[in-house]
Amino acid sequence: MRREIPLILTAIVGITFFIQFFVPHSPMRELSETFSDWYSIISAFAIWLGGLNLMKISFEKVYKKDKDWFFAVTTIVSFFLILIVGLFFSGGRQYLEQGSGYDWLYRNIYSPLSATMFALLAFFVASASYRAFRARNAQATVLLLAAFIVMAGRTPFGDWITIYLPEGWRLSNLSNVIMNYFNVAGQRAIMIGISLGIVSTSLRIILGIERSHLGGE
Amino acid sequence: MANKVASGIFIIVILPFLIWLIHKKPQPPSVSYPPYDLTAVLTPYDTAGSVTLSWFTLEGDDEAAAYFPDYRILRSQYQQGPFEEIGTVSFDVPRSTQISRQFRDIAVVAGGDYFYKVVAEVDGEIIESNVFGPITATPGPAGEEPIEVPDIIAFPPTQLKAYDTPNDNGGSITLEWKISASDAARSERFKGYDIYRGASPDGPFEKVGETTSGVSDSERQVKIIADGRDIINGVEYYYYVAAKWNGYEANSEIFGPVKSSQQWFHTGRGVSLVLLGLLIGSILYFINRAKAGKELFIRKIGGLEAVDEAVGRATEMGKAIFYVPGIQDMNNMQTIAGLTILGRVARLTAQYETKLEVPVSRSLVMVAAREIVKESYLNAGRPDFYNDDIVYYLTDDQFGYAAGVDGLVIRKKPATVFYQGAFFAESLILAETGNSIGAIQIAGTAMPAQLPFFVAACDYTLIGEELFAASAYLSREPKLLGSLKGQDLGGKLIFLSLALIFVIIATLGAFTGSEIVDTIQRMFNVN
Amino acid sequence: MSSEFGVWLAAFFTIGIASFLYKDNPLYKFCESVFVGISAGYWAVALFWENLIAKMFDSLGISYFFGLWPEKGALQDIFSGVWNWNLLHILAGILGIMMLLRLFPKIGWIARWPLSVIVGSTAGLWMITYFQSNFLSQLQKTVVPLFDIGRINELSEIGAAMSEQGRAIPFDAYFAAYLGNLILIFGTLTGLVYFYFSKEHKGVFGKTAKVGIYFLMITFGASFGYTVMSRMSLLIGRLYFLFSTWLGFVN
């Protein structure tokens, strides 16, 4: 029960998807579409496990008077705030509409937090570039050189430092060549490798050879 | 040796030939398109009653033409003729659209039935249009001014064909028609097409759909659309399509009967079946060989060689190991691959009694990761060392999770951080923060856009396929290692040889100007 | 300066998160804890309405039964004698409940069932979609002639016109015509050799793999450089919010 049924379920569902790809006839396609919806439904149940876990950890911190217990309180308050507002006070299904309480929280708290976190990337990109700049081996140098050419080639700066070359033979042109050919070639090799890795891993999972995701060896 | 020769012949000769044999050949066009597609309508608001003809221009008759032979307009009262010439249209006469021409026949007798055709002599060859008719000359109602040629009026779509939509599970019929000459004007006054369906050619017809103006296939000037509204397999249907112009409608002829059905095999996926079958077969073959005890060589993968060292270092320093399984859910293979690596890492941390923390961003991942870590601790003989709090949930949100992990990393200062799974823009936020506290970082992802950032900010990075190979590599289990060999031969080797063979053929084909380049491209079409 | 409370709140959180760049501090800790809580709740609410209600209760017809939704669902269909595949969503509901049984340690193992259904469908679906999109279509893009004859012919036409105007043909146009396909094919194949696991990377094979690594490094560098600018624009976006929307310095 604990081991066999999960393996059988995995195999049945996986093989259904495989077959429906080649056999459009009923019921293969309907089944695979249904299975795809199942994920959404199961995850909608499961997300409460996560929420409960977050609350359990936060309450424990408060209870144990952990060093940062005050911040656990803010987590608890914000979680319940948006939950209660979103489920009960935002017009039900119209919760996303402009002017709902949920939307207000989204625009004034969630969205600036998210956008600022994203914007921090500008600084992290800078510090990562700086580290790459100090790299001493040949591979890292090639990486850095390509990065520099593409970055400079996408701005007027690139053509400005190569102004003495004839038009059409400047850094932006070199940048195009790197982006459209060298870069694409490397991307392709990576993508092909990924497809092979996925086919192989999927096959091992469907056949039950790979079961470490279920905790088995 | 004999084996190798046989495989060589298979890959170089038989496989390319097989692919050519089963690839989906281009279908002959389901409709034959005569050069003109002549249609005729009664001129709206012409109280005297006249007929306006419209046809698509022949090749060479375009705006840039310096000269083009005249079109001769022929008319008869009978389908078979005899036809007499009633006028000509020369190339310098203004036209309503780039690709169509019009002619108005005002010499009609009200109540008379007429048939029309258009003829032109191009390069010594006489090209005749279809015969259109009968059309009964009827005076229009009084009202607005009649529209002048070449102003556009509503011309019907022609050549309507309907057929069972191929490679589906039924419930769908595909329609295609040559666009209305009015549509060719690309004007906002053209309001698209309405599709009508009925159970018999005599109706009643019901509107089942509509579509915008424009073509789906510009070469043939046709519009293609599938009707999937409440169609029952095996039932006969009849269709017509109406073109809408400025409040007017012009109906095509009725087409039918047509039935929809389900197909047992997707004909566009034969090549996929062969190549995927070969890959799967090869993987299974080498798994079996490995089971039989055949030794397999697997090259070193730097990032995975470092796992032991990274765990060991954390143990020595008495610090924790963080394992970040990406921000995607269990419906992403990268997450699943990442979790298989977690199993191996957890086994090591159990053996070394090193503290492990797995912050996750999805509840399902939390449940799966707990199962995995628990089982690993059990297998390592340290179930006492396990508790559920090793794996904990932060938030489903991408940047919320990044903010949370950043905070944890900066405060707890783990000695080692693993990033294995699917990452998006947060990859660099996480990796740079980990870097700033001096942790050893081992990343692995199949998100091509994030690989550069991991490569720049981490000590080791598993690139794409290496992430999926990690479980096999770390476990050293023969069956899993066998699958790696299988994907090398059934995937990479096949790819390399097919690519080389067809590149050579395509290059030769391109120099001789043959159509082989198109054929090769078509063979590997994704359907 | 803005007089809206919401804008001040947004400005506070913007500064709070950004303060992490200086060092970990109480302000960041506050913003982080709010972010984790609010975003966890945000997604819980979204999944409740979009997945649980819409995909399960609506499609089954339970919402209709209670008069909460105008459209009938699978249950109504079945009782009027029409088969509806959405009826199987009942099973998904059962699997979802099995998932929640994780809360009870004694029977928590049953959560493996829904997990294995999800893993199985992921494996099946990804196997075929990635094979199509990453293997077959990349093979299609690779089996091209070594030289782009069409472009080479174009070059000579354009070249004549351009030299009349005293301009040179751009370098990238030359490259695309004569070397583009060659580099694409060569780079793809050598890169693929790098990923080869079951053969030792030495001799000619090893050298080829080495060339492949360099292609990968150029790829990484190029996409790194390509992304830098767009990341800068994100930062500018936040600065604009602070200085214009909030403080009103810039219009």
Handedness of CA A5, A7, A8, A13 (dihedral sign): positive
Handedness of CA C118, C124, C127, C129 (dihedral sign): negative
Residue A69 sits in the same domain as residue A145: no
Q: What is the mean pLDDT of chain A?
A: 91
Residue A10 sits in the same domain as residue A66: yes
Residue A207 sits in the same domain as residue A126: yes
Query: Within 10 Å of residue A43's Cβ, how many Cβ atoms?
Result: 25
Chain B stretch 382-421, residues whose beta carbon is closer than 8 A to a beta carbon of chain A: 389, 392-400, 402-403
Phi, psi (deg, nearest 5) at residue B455 = -60, -40
Please, are residues B200 and B238 in contact by the beta-carbon 8 Å criterion?
A: yes
Residue A131 sits in the same domain as residue A70: no
- Distance from the B250 Cα atom to the nearest Cα atom in chain A, whole angstroms: 37
Domains and CATH numbers, chain B: 1-30+266-295+479-527 (no CATH), 39-136 (2.60.40.10), 158-258 (2.60.40.10), 302-476 (3.40.50)
- Distance from the C16 Cα atom to the nearest Cα atom in chain B, whole angstroms: 11
> Does B169 reach chain A within 8 Å, measured CB to CB?
yes
Contact A191 B287 (CB under 8 A): no
Nearest CB partner across the interface for B499, out of C35, C142, C223: C142
pTM: 0.90
C chain contacts of residue B343, beta-carbon cutoff 8 Å: none
Contact C122 B517 (CB under 8 A): no
Residue A128 sits in the same domain as residue A71: no
- The nearest alpha carbon in chain C to B374 belongs to C109
Mean pLDDT of the region A145-167: 88
A chain contacts of residue C120, beta-carbon cutoff 8 Å: 9-14, 17, 205-206
Please, are residues B285 and B486 in contact by the beta-carbon 8 Å criterion?
A: yes
Residue A64 sits in the same domain as residue A13: yes
- Distance from the C56 Cα atom to the nearest Cα atom in chain A, whole angstroms: 7
Contact C18 A116 (CB under 8 A): yes
Contact A45 C97 (CB under 8 A): yes
Which H or E element spans position B196?
strand B190-198
- Distance from the A78 Cα atom to the nearest Cα atom in chain B, whole angstroms: 12
- The nearest alpha carbon in chain C to A148 belongs to C225
Question: Residue C206 sits in which domain range?
Answer: 145-251
Q: How far is CA C20 from the centre of its chain?
A: 26
- For residue C159, tell me if it sits in a domain: yes
Query: Which residue do the tokens 């819980």 mark?
Result: C44
Mutate to test the interface with A, among C17, C97, C113 (most CBs of A within 10 A): C17
In the chain, the amino acid numbered C182 is L
Q: C193: exposed, middle or buried (C-beta count within 10 Å: 0-12, 13-18, 19+)?
A: buried
Give A1's pLDDT tier (boundaries 50, 70, 90). low
- Distance from the C77 Cα atom to the nearest Cα atom in chain A, whole angstroms: 16
More confident position, A29 or A84: A84
Contact A188 C33 (CB under 8 A): no
Contact B503 C223 (CB under 8 A): no
User: DSSP assignment of B300-366, as one string?
Assistant: --HHHHHHHHHHHHHHHHT--EEEE--S--TTSHHHHHHHHHHHHHHHHHHHHT--EEEEES-HHHH
Nearest CB partner across the interface for C115, out of B368, B397, B492: B368
A chain contacts of residue B468, beta-carbon cutoff 8 Å: 194, 197-198, 200-201
Mutate to test the interface with A, among B345, B370, B468 (most CBs of A within 10 A): B468
Q: Going by C-beta distance under 8 Å and a sequence separation of 6 or more, which residues neighbour residue B338?
A: B325, B326, B420, B421, B422, B444, B467
Helices (H), C110-180: 112-130, 137-142, 149-164, 171-175
Phi, psi (deg, nearest 5) at residue B202 = -95, 0
Looking at residue B256, its pLDDT comes to 82
- Distance from the A121 Cα atom to the nearest Cα atom in chain B, whole angstroms: 6
Alpha carbon separation from B373 to B106, B266, B318, C67 (Å, rounded): 88, 42, 20, 46
Q: Above 80 in pLDDT, residue A42?
A: yes
Please, are residues B361 and B397 in contact by the beta-carbon 8 Å criterion?
A: yes
SS3 call for B256: strand
| pLDDT average per 10 residues of sequence, chain C (251 residues) | 88 94 94 96 95 93 92 92 92 96 90 93 95 95 91 84 80 90 96 94 94 96 89 88 87 63
- For residue A101, tell me if it sits in a domain: no
> Does A124 reach chain B within 8 Å, measured CB to CB?
yes
The candidate with the shortest Cα–Cα distance to B502, out of B526, B518, B513, is: B518
- For residue C198, tell me if it sits in a domain: yes
Judging by DSSP bridges, how do beta strands B237-245 and B255-258 pair with one another? antiparallel
Chain B stretch 204-223, residues whose beta carbon is closer than 8 A to a beta carbon of chain A: none
| pLDDT average per 10 residues of sequence, chain B (527 residues) | 85 90 76 71 82 85 77 91 88 78 87 90 84 85 71 82 91 90 78 92 90 82 89 94 86 91 92 96 94 87 92 95 96 94 93 96 95 92 93 96 96 96 96 95 95 93 95 89 94 96 94 87 91
- The nearest alpha carbon in chain C to B511 belongs to C149
Question: Residue A53 sits in which domain range?
Answer: 4-88
- For residue A102, tell me if it sits in a domain: no
Contact B491 A192 (CB under 8 A): yes
The candidate with the shortest Cα–Cα distance to B325, out of B435, B412, B442, B410, is: B442
Give A10's pLDDT tier (boundaries 50, 70, 90). very high
- C18-45 burial by CB neighbour count: b if 16+ within 10 A, else e? bbbeeebeebbbbbbbbbbbbbbbbbbb
CA within 13 Å, CB half, B311:
21
d(Cα B369, Cα A213) in Å, to the nearest integer?
8
Residue A68 sits in the same domain as residue A126: no
SS3 call for B250: strand
- For residue C203, tell me if it sits in a domain: yes
The candidate with the shortest Cα–Cα distance to B340, out of A211, C130, A197, C195, is: A211
Residue A73 sits in the same domain as residue A142: no
SS3 call for B258: strand
Contact B330 C122 (CB under 8 A): yes
Contact B464 A213 (CB under 8 A): no
B chain contacts of residue C127, beta-carbon cutoff 8 Å: 276
Please, are residues B523 and B23 in contact by the beta-carbon 8 Å criterion?
A: yes
Contact C131 B276 (CB under 8 A): yes
d(Cα A201, Cα B465) in Å, to the nearest integer?
10
d(Cα A55, Cα A68) in Å, to the nearest integer?
15
Q: Give CA angle at B167 (B163, B171), nearest 5°.
A: 60
Residue A207 sits in the same domain as residue A128: yes
The structural domain count of chain A equals: 2
- For residue C228, tell me if it sits in a domain: yes
The candidate with the shortest Cα–Cα distance to B429, out of B451, B399, B461, B455, is: B399
Contact A200 B483 (CB under 8 A): yes
Mutate to test the interface with A, among C125, C184, C223, C236 (most CBs of A within 10 A): C125
A chain contacts of residue B432, beta-carbon cutoff 8 Å: 124, 127-128
The structural domain count of chain C equals: 1
A chain contacts of residue C184, beta-carbon cutoff 8 Å: 181, 184-185, 188
Q: How far is CA B313 from the centre of its chain?
A: 48
Mutate to test the interface with C, among B233, B274, B298, B333 (most CBs of C within 10 A): B333
d(Cα B239, Cα B256) in Å, to the nearest integer?
6
CA within 13 Å, CB half, A152:
15
Neighbours of chain A (3+ CB pairs under 8 A): B, C
Q: Going by C-beta distance under 8 Å and a sequence separation of 6 or more, which residues neighbour residue C236?
A: none
Looking at residue B264, its pLDDT comes to 93
- Distance from the B472 Cα atom to the nearest Cα atom in chain A, whole angstroms: 9
The candidate with the shortest Cα–Cα distance to B238, out of B154, B158, B175, is: B175
Q: B84: exposed, middle or buried (C-beta count within 10 Å: 0-12, 13-18, 19+)?
A: exposed
Query: Within 10 Å of residue B28's Cβ, how many Cβ atoms?
Result: 7
Chain A stretch 39-78, residues whose beta carbon is closer than 8 A to a beta carbon of chain B: 39, 42-43, 46-51, 53-54, 57
Please, are residues A119 and B403 in contact by the beta-carbon 8 Å criterion?
A: no
The side-by-side arrangement of strands in the sheet containing B158-164 is B158-164, B173-178, B222-227
The candidate with the shortest Cα–Cα distance to B175, out of B260, B105, B99, is: B260
Contact C172 A180 (CB under 8 A): yes
- In this complex, how many residue pairs, one in chain A and one in chain C, have their CB atoms less than 8 Å apart? 440
Q: Taking every pair of C-alpha atoms in chain A, what is the biggest distance, in angstroms?
A: 75
- For residue C89, tell me if it sits in a domain: no
Please, are residues A40 and C151 in contact by the beta-carbon 8 Å criterion?
A: no
Contact B446 A114 (CB under 8 A): no
Mean pLDDT of the region A42-47: 96
Q: B113: exposed, middle or buried (C-beta count within 10 Å: 0-12, 13-18, 19+)?
A: middle
d(Cα C80, Cα C83) in Å, to the nearest integer?
9
Q: Above 80 in pLDDT, residue A132?
A: no
Is 0.90 exceeded by the ipTM? yes
- C162-171 burial by CB neighbour count: b if 16+ within 10 A, else e? beeeeeebbb
Contact B467 A204 (CB under 8 A): no
Please, are residues B453 and B431 in contact by the beta-carbon 8 Å criterion?
A: yes
Contact B491 A54 (CB under 8 A): no
Residue A84 sits in the same domain as residue A158: no
